[in-house]
Amino acid sequence: MIEPDRTEWQVRCAFNAFCKRVLKNEAINIYNERRQQQAKELTFSDLTPQEENQLLP
């Protein structure tokens, strides 16, 4: 809740800081998710011939 003695400028600054923190945390989450996904992925050039043959129908 907004305290009665806070000015409009203080409220704007608090909201601005909150928005920046949310965006920063979301960027960190996206970075971590991408890093985890890349750790699980393999390129076709990294596959052995046996693994390549398993991909064929």
Please calculate the CA angle 8-12-13 and round it to the nearest 5 degrees.
120
The model scores a pTM over 0.85: no
- The answer to whether residue 5 scores a pLDDT higher than 70 is no
Q: Which of 4-8, 18-22, 27-31 has the lowest mean pLDDT?
A: 4-8
How confident is the prediction for the chain on average, in pLDDT? Answer: 89
- The answer to whether residue 46 scores a pLDDT higher than 90 is no
- The answer to whether residue 52 scores a pLDDT higher than 80 is yes
Q: What is the CA radius of gyration of the chain?
A: 24
**What's the rounded Cα separation, in Å, for the pair 10 and 57?**
64
